[in-house]
Structure 1
Amino acid sequence: MTTSIPTRFVALDVHRKYLVVGAVDAGQKVVLSPRRFGFEAFEAWAPTHLTPSDLVVLEATANAWLLYDQVKPFVADVLVAHPQAVKLISAARVKTDSRDTIKLASLLAANLIPAIWVPPHPVRELRALVAHRKRLVQQRTQAGNRLHGVLHRHNLTLPPGKPFAAHQREWWLSLDLPASEKLRLQQDLSLYQSLEELVKGGEAELSRLSTCHPWIKQVPFLIQLPGLGVLSVMSVLVAIGDITRFPSAKHLVGYAGLGASIHDSGETHRGGGITKEGRSDLRGVMVEAAWVAVEHHPHWKAQFERLTNRIGKQKAIVAVARKLLVATWHVLIEQEADSNAHIEAVARKLMNWIAHTGATPGKKRDRLLLLYEQLDRLGLSEEVEQVDYYGSTYRLSTKQKLIRAAQQRKET
């Protein structure tokens, strides 16, 4: 569809069970009085009343993406308003649906809407799956904490092994407890074990998706970084979405809330802690990865020790997390190996990914051939002759390299 210069600025004030539509022109004159619709009625109204000269804005709500997809084919463009813009409406002393709708449309006409990035469908689906797994893990942790609370209240000691493994169930059920507490224990134990299976199912699906388009081309570049496994890599990728929307590593750091806050006004000039604005999930993953990196990687361990002596352990780990995120931006943008990569460790991590996720869906191929392919993508294939993996040594033979070279010629 050919788009034109917007002449009408349409706002959708979205609520749980309905939405209100209103519009102004470039001169802020109301050209469509606020009108309330149910969602089904709006779906029927939109194709016949919205035009290619309309610019539409809607608030970022749970169903924003569905409305975005419904409206986008009929208009010049659709902006999803950043939640900060909605504060201008919610702070009004006189607040009605009609006023909110026209004010949102006026902000759009004045080009004052800070729009958020609209993720494509694969990113939306993966974000939903990552968030679902996180909720399951939280619920599992809560159930486990309640079971541990039983032990603390009664000064009980667990038998050796994992506390909630299947073979421990009989021990838990044999505890001499009051009837009501025993009932809670049985239900929490069953809940924990059920959630354990659900979490495994979610993680298996995330692992499978890591071998599918569009993620498979990006996973190797992140999995090479210390502290990042398949699950954390998928969490990072889904939080970032499209790396090209960040012009620099600094923008990505700000998006994660890992940049330093600054107060520079008048004669006051001071810096503070990190802003903690943006995606807290990305910030959390990078801090967790930083703790692993400083434990196992020589470069990051040295960085951490140097920073700890100057600013303390907690600030140092945040600084390392920020540096890791900068490295993330560079490897994704430049599509190359990290400059601090430990080649043997990278090969083992890639081998672990391949071993646990299998070959590319629909294709049964040799693990070492897949490993060589991923190393080749990182530009490391010529530097690795063998991989030590769980006590076994795997050699990248000349045959595998020749097969890979033949495949590349066939693809071109």
Structure 2
Amino acid sequence: MDFYAGLDVSVEATNVCVVEGDGKVVREVKLETDPDAIELFLAEWGNHLKRVGLEAFSYSAWLFTVLSEKGLPVTCIETRHAKAALNVMLNKTDRNDAKGIAQMMRTGWFRAVHVKSEGAQTLRALLVGRKAMLSKVLDMENMILGLLRPFGLKIGGMSVGRFEARVREIMAGKKDLEAIVTPLPDARSAMRLQLAKLHRLALAAARSDTAVRRMMTVPGVGALVALTFRATVDDPARFKRSTNVGAHFGLTPRRYQSGQTDRIGGISKCGDELTRAMLYEAAIAILTRIPKNFKRRLWGLRLARKKGLKRAATAVARALAVVLHKIWTSGTTFRLGAGGKRGRVAAAV
């Protein structure tokens, strides 16, 4: 007889439910969130255990990897599908969630998600850490500006490197204010130093990755955009067609069709928010700052005149995701066509 298991994982404890092929609950237990304890409990069913499901969340990649290495048939399921299935239960408890996931494993009513490799997770951590540090640096600079304005002190436009010196210059002679504000530029300088270190690590990662360097041949795509796309996709073979990548990042419109009703709404915004934002920023750069004309840019400019810049940038971002995936899978680079009027990916686009 075949058996199926569901894991409802939290930081401290994991609820486990095992069901038979006909849906009957065989065993339920609450364990410590430890792969060895979970493996020991599930070992009783051996090869008869066909699928073990857990919902995607922050611990999923670690637990999935360890349990897979132990030989368990683990599947990480899509969060929205799990939520839709579990919402039919009257009472929301961890025990019931584990039971619901086990039943999803039995019926096959789930969508498996890709669990990123350790390398992709490390790269992702670098990019998220860099972005967080940049945000804190900007917050600190804005706070310093806000503290100085009530005293009529204005820094004015200047380079990043001159910021601290300018703050000290305009505060000269105001001893009480200096005592309050001086620690803040010092803290800002320390944060800028750490931000520079993270940025150098990102640039080094881009230089060492052949696929990323090829993606950077696309106008408007820099190291950070290419690295973010690389870390999020992880394995380009996940997508049978490059045209599916835009939908994966939530850049395609929602649609509701029922009977005589057929509505097309805004983009779905599902998938990775950071990658979607980076692709959008690259699209804005293509439409507003890239001097060279090529196929995608000219198409985006025509669309901008009809639909506006935001909608055009969204469409270009979706097309850009397709181009980057094709570059990655085909091993080619982006090049401008004759006269610089049409951009293509080695004749593949």
Which bracket does the TM-score occupy, shorter chain normalised? 0.7 to 0.9
For 2:115 and 2:36, locate their aligned partners in 1 and report how far apart those are by CA, in whole Å. 20
How far residue 209 of structure 1 moved from its aligned partner, in angstroms, is 2.0
- Unmatched 5+ stretches in structure 2: none
Show the counterpart of 1:268.
Answer: 261
- SS of the residue corresponding to residue 210 of structure 1 reads helix
- SS of the residue corresponding to residue 298 of structure 1 reads coil
- Unmatched 5+ stretches in structure 1: 1-5, 345-377, 380-412
Structure 1 residues 207 and 139, CA gap change in structure 2 (3 angstroms): same
Q: TM-score, with normalisation over the residues of structure 1?
A: 0.73
Structure 1 residues 91 and 175, CA gap change in structure 2 (3 angstroms): farther
Which has the higher relative contact order, 1 or 2, with Cα contacts under 8 A spaced 6 or more apart?
Answer: 2
- SS of the residue corresponding to residue 334 of structure 2 reads coil
- Counterpart pick for 2:233 among 232, 240, 251: 240
Show the counterpart of 2:293.
Answer: 298
Show the counterpart of 1:206.
Answer: 202
Q: TM-score, with normalisation over the residues of structure 2?
A: 0.86
Residue identity over aligned pairs, in percent, reads: 20
Show the counterpart of 1:384.
Answer: none
CA deviations 1:177-213 (Å, max 9, x no partner) are 865x962x3343233222211111111112222244x
Question: Does residue 188 of the first structure (1) align with residue 181 of the second (2)?
Answer: no
- SS of the residue corresponding to residue 210 of structure 2 reads coil
CA deviations 1:350-382 (Å, max 9, x no partner) are xxxxxxxxxxxxxxxxxxxxxxxxxxxx98xxx
What letter corresponds to residue 38 of structure 1 in structure 2? E
Structure 1 residues 39 and 129, CA gap change in structure 2 (3 angstroms): same
Question: Does residue 34 of the first structure (1) align with residue 28 of the second (2)?
Answer: yes
Equivalent residues, number: 335
What pairs up with 1:5-404 in 2 under 5 angstroms? 7-31=2-26, 33-40=27-34, 43-44=36-37, 46-47=39-40, 49-50=42-43, 51-54=46-49, 55-87=51-83, 88-89=85-86, 92-158=89-155, 161-162=158-159, 165=162, 166-171=164-169, 174=172, 176=174, 183=180, 185-212=181-208, 216-294=209-287, 295-296=289-290, 297-299=292-294, 300-338=296-334, 340=336
CA deviations 1:276-317 (Å, max 9, x no partner) are 121111111111111222221312543333112211222112
- SS of the residue corresponding to residue 146 of structure 2 reads helix
- SS of the residue corresponding to residue 249 of structure 1 reads coil
Contact 1:52 1:75 in 2 (8 A): no
Structure 1 residues 270 and 97, CA gap change in structure 2 (3 angstroms): closer
Contact 2:5 2:16 in 1 (8 A): yes
For 1:175 and 1:341, locate their aligned partners in 2 and report how far apart those are by CA, in whole Å. 61
For 2:95 and 2:301, locate their aligned partners in 1 and report how far apart those are by CA, in whole Å. 58
What letter corresponds to residue 174 of structure 2 in structure 1? D
- SS of the residue corresponding to residue 157 of structure 1 reads coil
